[in-house]
């Protein structure tokens, strides 16, 4: 698995497994299947209400914990120093693990400086290994770095072929931009897009694989979600080819620069 090195010196896999909207036994099964198929990053969050199932899936896989990169996130009402302190311990309990590889502030909060204080303490205590943020735009990122005195390891944001986020990526020195909804979560039919399918045909790949590869090839790690084992395999199978510069030009031209979700 290709990876990129974070500012804490640790590697983050370029393709991970997203778990939003997968719950309970199905989540446990999917996490185990994904790990069996070769995924080594699992992306969850307190908000997804599936941390316990993710923990069970990891255990059921039999894969040593140290081979897995585990991300979770803190969300309101825990947007305070005490709240974040407690949230970290609760996530550890639910995930049934001693440490979290990447702990993200799920969305911008005015209290993020207090939250970072709790996260730094957890880092020193070995409970988390990297601190990051999610859904921070360019201005909010700059404010975060100045006010919190911290360059986050990761900013996880909406990114896909229709909104590639290259200018945000460029603006974040020392922070890896990681893509959520890299297949647009069904908001647009990128997985059947005729232009991506035509490019894919040249490499023996699907439109979905081209959509993911286009981000990965630009240094953007992705966390696609699927409950379908054949798609889990497909989404991971993007490391045996390189998109030509002509194809990358066509794909870059698909970037509308606009969010499909409009959260931030
Ligand atoms: N930080 C944040 O605020 C934030 C926000 C949103 C998401 N996320 C993270 O990002 C992850 C991914 O985003 P997402 O779940 O919104 O959407 P996504 O990964 O862009 O898309 C998931 C959808 O695409 C389908 N799909 C997956 N692979 C496919 C393939 N190869 N061919 C055709 N269809 C395919 C899935 O169908 P099936 O499942 O039916 O197979 C599902 O309907 C989340 O699960 C979560 O971990 C983070």
Residue ranges per domain, the chain?
Answer: 3-185+218-225
Q: Does domain 3-185+218-225 have CATH number 3.20.20.100?
A: yes
Nearest CA to ligand 1 atom 15: 225
d(C-alpha 77, C-alpha 218), whole Å: 35
Question: What φ, ψ does residue 74 adopt, rounded to 5°?
Answer: -105, 140
Note the pLDDT tens digit of each residue in 220-246: 999 999 999 999 999 999 999 999 999
Mean residue pLDDT across the chain: 97
User: What average pLDDT does the segment 164-174 reach?
Assistant: 97
pLDDT of residue 1: 82
d(C-alpha 33, C-alpha 58), whole Å: 10
Q: Is the model's pLDDT at 108 over the cut of 90?
A: yes
User: What average pLDDT does the segment 173-193 reach?
Assistant: 96
Counting ligand 1 atoms within 8 A of each CB, the residue from 183, 187, 206, 234 with the most, and so the one to mutate, is 183
pLDDT of residue 94: 98
Note the pLDDT tens digit of each residue in 15-47: 999 999 999 999 999 999 999 999 999 999 999
**Spacing, Cα 130 to ligand 1 middle (Å):** 24
Question: Of 128 and 264, which is predicted with more confidence?
Answer: 128
Q: Is the model's pLDDT at 126 over the cut of 70?
A: yes
Identify the residues whose C-beta falls under 6 Å from ligand 1: 18-20, 43, 106, 134-135, 156, 180-186, 191, 208, 223-228, 231, 234-235
> What is the set of active-site residues?
48
pLDDT of residue 65: 97
Confidence of residue 264 (pLDDT cuts 50, 70, 90): low
Confidence of residue 196 (pLDDT cuts 50, 70, 90): very high
Number of other residues whose CB lies within 10 A of the CB of residue 65: 13
State which ligand 1 atom lies nearest to the alpha carbon of 22: 45
Question: What φ, ψ does residue 217 adopt, rounded to 5°?
Answer: -65, -20
User: What average pLDDT does the segment 157-176 reach?
Assistant: 97
Q: State the burial class of residue 101 (Cβ atoms within 10 Å of its Cβ: 0-12, 13-18, 19+).
A: buried
């Amino acid at each position: 698995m290709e990876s990129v090195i974070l500012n804490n010196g640790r590697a983050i896999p370029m393709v991970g497994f997203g778990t939003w909207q997968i719950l309970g036994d199905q989540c446990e099964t999917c996490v185990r299947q994904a790990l069996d198929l070769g995924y080594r990053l699992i992306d969850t969050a307190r908000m997804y209400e599936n941390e316990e199932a993710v923990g069970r899936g990891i255990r059921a896989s039999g894969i040593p914990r140290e081979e897995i990169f585990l991300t979770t996130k803190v969300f309101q009402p825990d947007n305070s120093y005490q709240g974040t302190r407690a949230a970290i311990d609760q996530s550890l309990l639910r995930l049934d693990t001693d440490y979290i590889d990447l702990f993200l502030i799920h969305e911008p909060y005015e209290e993020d400086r207090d939250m970072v204080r709790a996260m730094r303490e957890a880092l020193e205590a070995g409970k988390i290994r990297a601190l990051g943020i999610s859904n921070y735009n360019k201005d909010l990122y700059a404010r975060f770095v100045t006010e919190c005195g911290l360059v986050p390891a990761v900013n996880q944001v909406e990114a896909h072929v229709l909104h590639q986020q290259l200018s945000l990526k460029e603006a974040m020195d020392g922070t890896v931009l990681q893509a959520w909804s890299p297949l647009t979560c069904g908001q647009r039919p990128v997985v059947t897009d005729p232009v991506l399918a035509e490019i894919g045909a040249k490499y023996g790949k699907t439109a979905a694989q081209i959509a993911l590869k286009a981000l990965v090839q630009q240094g953007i790690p992705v966390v696609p979600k699927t409950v379908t084992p054949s798609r889990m395999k497909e989404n991971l199978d993007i490391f045996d080819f390189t998109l030509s510069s002509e194809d990358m030009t066509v794909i870059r031209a698909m970037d509308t620069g606009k969010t499909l979700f409009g959260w931030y």
